[in-house]
Structure 1
Amino acid sequence: MLLKSIDTIVYQWIGLDPESRFAAAVHFFLYDTVKIFLLLAVMIFAIGVIRTWLPEHKLKKWMGAGGVWANVIAALFGAITPFCSCSSIPIFISLLKAGVPLGVTFSFLITSPIINEYLVILMASEFGVPITIAYVASGLLIGILAGVILGRMKLERHLETDIIESAHNDDQIIEYTFGKRIKFGIDEAASVIRSIWLWVIVGVAIGAFIHNYVPQDTIHSLMEATGIFSVPLATILGVPMYGSCAAIVPIAVVLFEKGIPLGTALAFMMAMAALSLPEAIMLRRTMRLPLIAIFFGITTIAIIATGYLLNALSQYL
């Protein structure tokens, strides 16, 4: 029904030539934009309602216990929070203030932007469920392992001394009625869509352009030129960039369809989501440069390794 409606708008109401590239690009843009926003509204509402049953005060207590299990809890907590890398930093600081070990807080900081509900929804609709599951599993694994490694390195000495004073912590326990749960889901969906709608539109527009105007031979030539180094190159290119995965998912889908290996496209997504220059600048207010460099370095290596692994497994996904 949605496809027929878009056909009517593009080819009858606007009157574009169905055989032209421009018409195909407009059709791609309108169809994907409407589909994405519909999926986001419904799924984020449902996930928001489910989140009202998650005891965040208990999650903090479990994370404060330390050990690998605490890293797992922190990574899962990061996966259910709809934050970008910069938005995750206030909670990262709050966890430190609450006494959560540094390595455990890093598991949250890494996983939170890599995995969130709107990214999972977009990926499932564009890449399919098997690839989405592989991406989520990879993101969790990166967060857990990197957090464990950073925790074992005993890097607390590199934290700024005033971090406790500059942080804030709210352990208020909220009791939800059925009506409050529904309202929370509606507010969550509205809040997320308000924060990412522009990124969705930009990402789909770029994807529509690439899909209809960039020849597949050009993509293949670029991949052949970089060869085995395509994964680290894609990761390094993603690090200095900053943007929402709502924008990069449609682009990554088109690049994958044009011939870029799956792991390479997803490594670029992960690097762009989890590591950025604005994030480094914000982190400088809580930690010294050596710790920021170590955090970025370990996470980058983990993303590159995951990209190679996903490229090897892509034939089975």
Structure 2
Amino acid sequence: MQTLELGWDFFQNEILGMGWLNRLIGVLLNTIGLDTSSRIGGSVQFFLYDTIKIMVLLGVLILIISYIQSYFPPERTKKILGRFHGIWANILAALLGTVTPFCSCSSIPLFIGFTSAGLPLGVTFSFLISSPMVDLGSLVLLMSIFGWKVAIVYVVLGLVIAVVGGTLIEKMHLEDQVEEFIRKGNSVDVPQEELLFKDRMRYAWEQVVSTARKVAPYVLVGVGIGALIHNWIPEHLIVKALGTGNPFGVIIATIAGVPMYADIFGTIPIAEALLAKGAMLGVVLSFMMGVTTLSLPSMIMLKKAVKPKLLGIFVAICTIGIIIVGYFFNAFQYLLV
């Protein structure tokens, strides 16, 4: 058992966490005369290490996920979801959301396509919630920073929000709250060509390049903010605002995430720095969920597809779910970290 624990710690810290890379960057910076124990040196080390680590993990994850996704083009996904009914359809839609685009703005076009194709509204919303919140990339990245317990519980609770949220929307019978041009849209079934291995790999690599170009600016901004928090903002200020002394920290973090737009790759460095400074686990995870699921740009896009009532219900369900999850993580942080 001890051997397994040592093996897992090595995998988490050195393979996923790339601890060796952090040490190497530290040695190189000290060699050229930059003291990594200083604020400036520490910020540079944090920025270089987190940027390289996230972009490398990003490339590997997208390659794997996109290869899997090549088996689930929209038409095939629609057919699979169409075979299930009730809560099982919501569960499957939430699970399929884990192998689709990494941000809410990329998920909305698929949501519109599924809704136009006649899939139940609640099922499409389960997909819309889970896709940006709990993709497979979030599982691996969270594991590399916060450990496997936090990563698994985060993904499970995110899927629960997606399933419960979609089910509630279905029970409310809000189909008339979808814009008419979507409700009356037609979906054309196109025969799916069976791809060869090389075709799937080509598609996966194209997704790696495309996604990396899109998310790189957000990763750089996120890591920059994380470096600033990590080395320049006094710890007592973070603890006072987002630590155990503030019972409203989860609510503040969730609301603060809404005006921002980033995917999970851009928010993780900020969450990592906040946690290191003394913020509660539930607070930083609520911030991540708020940014990835309820960002203002994605809500503007969704507003073109649904009417205000449905949009408000969607935002309310997600916000309440995220806040509950945040307080759950705060309550059980001592067991998970």
Q: Same fold (TM over 0.5)?
A: yes
The 1:174/1:129 distance shift into structure 2, 3 A limit, reads: farther
1:181 paired with 2:200, answer: yes
The residue type equivalent to 1:86 in the other structure is: C
1:20 paired with 2:18, answer: no
The 1:37/1:277 distance shift into structure 2, 3 A limit, reads: closer
Q: Kindly indicate whether the alpha-carbon contact (under 8 Å) linking 2:66 and 2:99 is maintained by their aligned counterparts in 1.
A: no
The 1:315/1:231 distance shift into structure 2, 3 A limit, reads: same
SS at structure 2 position matched to 1:138: helix
Bigger drift between 51-60 and 197-206 goes to: 51-60
Aligned equivalent of 2:143: 124
CA displacement at 1:94 relative to structure 2: 0.6
The 1:198/1:118 distance shift into structure 2, 3 A limit, reads: farther
SS at structure 2 position matched to 1:162: helix
Bigger drift between 265-274 and 222-231 goes to: 222-231
The residue type equivalent to 1:43 in the other structure is: L
Q: Distance in 2 between matches of 1:104 and 1:143?
A: 9
Tell me the TM-score normalized by structure 2. 0.87
The 1:120/1:174 distance shift into structure 2, 3 A limit, reads: farther
Aligned residues: 316
Aligned equivalent of 1:193: 212
1:67 paired with 2:86, answer: yes
Bigger drift between 276-285 and 115-124 goes to: 115-124
Tell me the TM-score normalized by structure 1. 0.92
Q: Distance in 2 between matches of 1:197 and 1:119?
A: 16
Aligned equivalent of 1:153: 172
Aligned equivalent of 1:34: 52
Q: Distance in 2 between matches of 1:293 and 1:53?
A: 34
The 1:297/1:21 distance shift into structure 2, 3 A limit, reads: same
The residue type equivalent to 1:20 in the other structure is: S
* Cα distance per residue 1:203-222 (max 9 Å; x no partner): 11111111111121111121
The residue type equivalent to 1:189 in the other structure is: V
Residues 277-316 of structure 1 correspond to what in structure 2 (within 5 A)? 277-316=296-335
* Cα distance per residue 1:91-148 (max 9 Å; x no partner): 1111011110011111011111112243333222222222111111111110000000
The residue type equivalent to 1:295 in the other structure is: F
Q: Distance in 2 between matches of 1:284 and 1:169?
A: 25
The residue type equivalent to 2:236 in the other structure is: D
The residue type equivalent to 1:160 in the other structure is: E
Q: 2:257 aligns with which of 220, 238, 249?
A: 238
1:202 paired with 2:250, answer: no
CA RMSD of aligned residues (A): 2.1
CA displacement at 1:67 relative to structure 2: 0.6
The residue type equivalent to 1:175 in the other structure is: E
Q: Kindly indicate whether the alpha-carbon contact (under 8 Å) linking 1:239 and 1:271 is maintained by their aligned counterparts in 2.
A: yes
SS at structure 2 position matched to 1:83: coil
Q: Distance in 2 between matches of 1:262 and 1:182?
A: 37
Q: Distance in 2 between matches of 1:166 and 1:55?
A: 19
Q: Kindly indicate whether the alpha-carbon contact (under 8 Å) linking 2:74 and 2:110 is maintained by their aligned counterparts in 1.
A: no
CA displacement at 1:174 relative to structure 2: 3.1
The 1:120/1:107 distance shift into structure 2, 3 A limit, reads: same
Aligned equivalent of 2:10: none
Aligned equivalent of 1:251: 270
The 1:72/1:242 distance shift into structure 2, 3 A limit, reads: same
Q: Distance in 2 between matches of 1:101 and 1:175?
A: 28
CA displacement at 1:71 relative to structure 2: 0.3
The residue type equivalent to 1:223 in the other structure is: L
Q: 1:52 aligns with which of 70, 94, 104?
A: 70
1:163 paired with 2:159, answer: no
The residue type equivalent to 2:52 in the other structure is: V
Q: Distance in 2 between matches of 1:107 and 1:93?
A: 13
The 1:167/1:115 distance shift into structure 2, 3 A limit, reads: farther
Q: Distance in 1 between matches of 2:109 and 2:36?
A: 49
Q: Distance in 2 between matches of 1:261 and 1:224?
A: 5
CA displacement at 1:273 relative to structure 2: 0.8
Q: Kindly indicate whether the alpha-carbon contact (under 8 Å) linking 1:97 and 1:169 is maintained by their aligned counterparts in 2.
A: no
Bigger drift between 98-107 and 268-277 goes to: 268-277
Aligned equivalent of 2:163: 144
The residue type equivalent to 2:63 in the other structure is: F
CA displacement at 1:226 relative to structure 2: 6.6
The 1:295/1:16 distance shift into structure 2, 3 A limit, reads: same
Residues 76-155 of structure 1 correspond to what in structure 2 (within 5 A)? 76-155=95-174
SS at structure 1 position matched to 2:155: helix
Unpaired segments of 5 or more residues in structure 1?
A: none
Q: Distance in 2 between matches of 1:111 and 1:169?
A: 25
